[in-house]
Every structure is written in structure tokens, then in C-alpha cells.
Structure 1
């Protein structure tokens, strides 16, 4: 039996990193692997975060002493998240426990560039000392290797639940934005697009703006643009709401400026929902422009409007994109395949275990 201890934010925290973690914890077929999860963060002010981490750190020490763990799997982003995981990295290595650092940061390069020389040296040292760094796509390998050539890196794409048949609703009338409501995700560009399309698309087409973040600013901008009649929902959605909205989604739109590999794109593509997103980070490895979705340059509001309008009007194109999206995610991004590779990554860093990464 391999005992894995895993850390990220609390499971009610919003975001793709937690979605990935929940997929792992809910998976049914770990066989010889057993996972214990201890959260190390939740969204609040930094002083409470520090106190919370201190309490959890004591729990982690007890787990280390009595749990006989082989590997610590640390899900990390940038800034405070990285420094907390760096502290845990050093702790686990003192006890002879191997560490996997799973990088989900959308703004790691920006974070690194903002650091002092001394902090950059600490980041590079952490990357080198980590037994295996996991990144979300081939395009993100240089994010690690350019800083620390000796770092061990493996690519593990995010994965999602897949379906035996394409569940896409061809009669759906909703356009979905699923992510944190803020400038980085391009929500204000989308609001301008909704205004542009108001007299160009059927009146029954509604937009779902689903996420936490700058909800008040979004509502204020909607009022200024007078587009409230086009929007059916603003704010976070839970599991039941999410499924209901997926069932009525014709297009998913994510006009982000910075990303890794967004879970919302994979989740919607698995359901056959065509995507319009931006040509950044790992997104072009999933969305093939003109084949299963559309890609634009971040901030190109005119192209965003044109792509959405084209998909709304052209039913045949939308259905072709739906089938291509469903087939790609089912083939390459299933949770079963993802976890099999993760098991091999675990085995590869353990002594006296023949771990073959496929």
C-alpha cells in the first residue's frame, strides 16, 4: 500500500485547483494507493490564513509521525500558496518523504518576475529539490526548466469526468461564462460583447455569468450597458445549479488574459459544449481553432463578438464543434487515464519501485 498525503485549499474554495483535487479524492479506483487530504488554506485575510496554516501544520506533523506516508502531493499556485508549499516541502524532506509539487498557477511567471533576487533563488532551489514537478501542459514545461534546468518535470493534463455518449443539448439557449469574475478572466470584455450582440442574436439567448469575484462591479457594468435583460445569472453556482446550467448551455466563453489549463474548458468540452476562448498558455492544446472551437487574442472584443455570433447562428457548425470537442476530451482527458499516469509518477519517485511513466 502506498500512502499519499495531499494538500491544497479547503474543498469549498472556488477554483480549478480544488476541482482537480476533488476529482482525485472522489475517484473510485486507486487500488494500492491510499490518500489522506489535509487542507492548508481558505480564502480570507492573510492573518487568518497564517493562523489556519499553523493549526493545520501541527495536524500535518502528527500525520507524518503516525501515518507512514510515502509521498506528499502539494497542489500549488503562486505567491502565498507557493511559499506555504515550499515550507511543507522542506518539512517532508526532513522526514524522508518524497514530494510532488503540482503547479496550477496561472500567473507564476508574473509572480517570479516580481520577486527579489533572493526570493528567486529560493524558488529555483525549491523546484530543484522537489522530487517531481507536475505542470498542466507541454507549453508550461519551460516555466520550470527555464528557471531550474535540473528540476524534474512531468506533464499531466487536467482531466474531467467523461460520458459514454455526447450529452450536448442541441436546443440549448444559454451562453456560459464559468470562472472568477474579474479582469484576468476577461469578464468585462464579455459584457461589452453582450452589448454588441444584443440586436444581432435571438432574444431567447441568455448569458450565465457564473463565478465568485467582482460580482458588484459586474452588476454595475451591466446596468451601465443596459444588458440585464440578456443575463440570467450572476454569481457562484453549486453542483446542482452547475449541472442544470450545463444542460442549457450552447456555448462556453472564457476570454482570459492569463491561464494554465482551465477546468471549465475541459468540463464543458466533455459535455460537447463548444468553446470560444483565447490563444494563450495551454488552451490551444485543447481547443483547435476552427475544428472544435474558436480562439481569439485576449482583449480582441470584435473577434470575440464575431465568434459567438457565428456559433449562435450556425447550428451545423455548432454541432460539428460539439462532436469534435466531446471526442477529443473523451479520448485524451479522461480521469481514468489521468490517474493512471499519476500513479506511475508516484511510483517513479519511490526507491525500489519500477515506475514507468506513460
Structure 2
């Protein structure tokens, strides 16, 4: 009876769970806050990268779901979640007994009040707090009221470490209060399927293969890109643009494509993921992404450079920390279709420069923006904070 029980599927599953629990004994517990791991979200991607990294060998990593991304709920359910989630967090922390709470947040008002409550709960229960900001906003811009700014300052000072994505954000936090323990920790990507795949050498004189990957909203610069392509088409330049993503301005984008006479050159693919997205990056020459959105560090910039797809973008948030103008890609001013058109024309007319930028971008990502680098950086922080 015993031997047959050991071989049954149910008991094998229980043994695996027991082995895992034994393996976690003695490890420092860390709770990573973030949306559902199934959500299409930059923060979800970040949390999944950390949980699958080498950090899992050193620490007991746990996920606590926050936010509405990945949830199907109505207004009343959202209100109930907002009201009761601090209690849920308290119960979670009492049961799991982590040493560190890692809050993933952004510098906006709704997230601030939620995460302030979470920080209070965590500190009252004796947890250390790592507060990671994923947006490019400066703390000085969140509130105009001196009282509310004072509360924000206390929130940041109550965090044992605050991490941000750009050198500019480090400066703005130190200017807000020099006592804030702020550190620079840029995003990273899983480079498998991008860096380790050799690109096909583009055929000289062939139409430039352009790509946009991201949420279809006006502030990502897609409308300026379409206006730029209209200028280039009128000049007789050949090209193709593939747009991957979805968003609230998708219908307006379709109208603009038709109005500008670009239906033969521009294709909307809808959302793409995984290997399909990797193939899209590897099969494109230039990423057209003149964003003026409140970015942190867009994953699309890191992914395109890893694939050797040269970015044309705006120098906002953490992007200038990653790429140098004329070395890894080209910077253009926001809201400037003529500048976007000139940048595309420059790369179309100088394929040798395009190839140099492609190689330089891949090297830049390999040296600075891998998951191993991200895990090592947070490992240092966790060790100090714990």
C-alpha cells in the first residue's frame, strides 16, 4: 500500500510541494507587489522576471496582487478591494512572515494613497520596505499642496530604499529631500531569442522595414509617425510600417492611415507576444517611437535594441540613459513629424550607419540591461535592507 501510494500522482505532487517548502526554509522572505502575473503590464513583466531570476535561489519570493490589471470587476468590487486590501495585506504578512516588502508603484496620486496604506501596514508589522517607482514623474510634480507634499516626503523617507529608473529621477528625488535613500536600478529584459539570434543583413536599396510596438495612445507618438510617413511617401521613399499593440486610439489611427493614403504601407497586427514579438523585432530595421508619454523606461526600447532594430525616439525619462543619439539610435523632438521623417530618411539613405547603430545597440543591452544584472542589483539591495 505504501509503495503504490508513493507512485500515485497525488502523492508525487504533495512530495514536490514538500520538497519546495523544505528548500525555502531559512531563506529571507520577500513579497513582490504587482498586478496579476497574467496581466499585459510592464510591472507584471518586471515581477515575473524577478521571480524567475537567480534571486529565487537566494530568497523566498512571493507575489501579492495589487491593482485592477488582470481583474474582471465592476465599480463596487473595485471599491471593496480598495477598502479591504490593507487588511488582506496584513493577514498575508502575518501568515507568510516576510522580511522585505517590495512595492512596485508609479508617481501618481491614486497609486500613492494605496501604497501609503500598504507601507504603513508593512512597517507596523516589522517589514523592511523597498519602494520601486516605474514612472518618470518627479516627486515635486505630484502635489501642489505643501501638506500633501510633506506626506509624500514622509512616505519616501519611511522606505528603506527607493529605486528609480533614470538618473534624472535620482536627481529629482534628492532635490526633493536629500535624506531619501534613492538608488538607480534600470529595467531589464530577458534577452533570449533576441540577442542570441543573428540578424539577416538587410538588402541594400530595399524598402526600410519600420515597426511600432506599444499601446496605441496619442502620447506614444504614432500619429506623428504617420504624418512623417506621409511626407516620405510624397518624396518617393519606399517603406513599410507594422504596428503591434492595441489601445483606445486604435480607431483614430485607422482613420488617419486611410486619410493619409498609407493603407498599402501600414499594417496593424494587434497585440503580439513571446516568440511572435521576437520575430517582429528581428525582422524590422527601425523602431519608430517618438513618445512624449510619461514613460519610465519602455521595454520596447530595450527589446528593439537587443534585436538590433534601431530606435527613433524622444529623449524622455530614462531613454537618454540607455541610448546615445547617433550611436544606438536617433533622437527627435516631440510633436515633430518633419524631424521623424528626416531621421527615417537618414537611416534609409545610409545603411552602413544603420548597421553600426544596430550592432552598438545590441552590445549596449548585453552589457547593461540583462536579467542577470537586474537580479544582481536587487540582490545587493535586499542583502543590505534585510
TM-score higher than 0.5: yes
Unmatched segments (≥5 aa) in structure 2 = 1-26
Alignment length, in residue pairs? 349
Match of 1:275 in 2: 311
With over 3 angstroms needed to count, the CA separation of the structure-2 counterparts of 1:251 and 1:193, relative to structure 1, is same
**In the TM superposition, what whole-angstrom CA distance separates every residue of 1:205-256 from its partner, at most 9, and x where no partner exists?**
2332434342122222223223222212253323243223223221112211
Instruction: Give CA deviations for 1:176-228 in whole Å, capped at 9, x if unaligned.
Output: 22222222222221121121222446545233243434212222222322322
* Residue 4 (str. 1) matches residue 30 (str. 2): yes
Give 1:333 shift.
1.2
1:19 equivalent in structure 2: 45
**Structure 2 residue corresponding to 1:84, chosen from 88, 110, 114:** 114
Q: Report the CA distance between 1:51 and its aligned residue.
A: 3.0
* CA-CA distance at 1:62 after TM superposition: 2.4
CA RMSD, 1 decimal: 2.4
User: Distance between the aligned counterparts of 1:110 and 1:151, measured in 2?
Assistant: 13
- Shift in alpha-carbon separation, 1:227–1:128, aligned structure 2, 3 A: same
Q: Establish whether residue 132 from structure 1 lines up as the match of residue 161 from structure 2.
A: yes
Pair 1:119-2:148 in alignment: yes
Q: TM-score, normalised by structure 1?
A: 0.89
Matches of 1:263 and 1:32, distance apart in 2: 26
* Pair 325,46 (structure 1): closer, same or farther in 2 beyond 3 Å: farther
Question: Which residue matches 2:331?
Answer: 295
- Between 1:331-340 and 1:93-102, the stretch displaced more is 331-340
Q: Does 1:159 align with 2:195?
A: no
SS in 2 for 1:168: coil
Looking at structure 2, the residues matched to 198 and 137 of structure 1 have their Cα atoms a distance apart, in angstroms, of: 37
Deviation at 1:111, TM superposition (A): 5.1
Aligned mates of 2:242, 2:95 — CA distance in 1: 51
> What residue is the counterpart of 1:228 in the other structure?
263
**Corresponding residue for 2:367?**
331
SS at match of 1:228: coil
CA distance in 2, matches of 1:145, 1:134: 12
Mapping of 1:119-268 within 5 angstroms?
119-162=148-191, 165=196, 167-171=198-202, 174-200=209-235, 203=238, 205-257=240-292, 258-268=294-304
Q: Which runs of 5+ in 1 are unaligned?
A: 351-358
How far, CA to CA, are the matches of 2:87 and 2:209 in structure 1?
47
Out of 136, 159, 164, the residue aligned to residue 106 of structure 1 is 136
SS for the counterpart of 1:316 is helix
Q: Which residue of 1 aligns with 2:68?
A: 42
Q: Secondary structure at the match of 2:57?
A: coil
TM-score (norm 2): 0.83
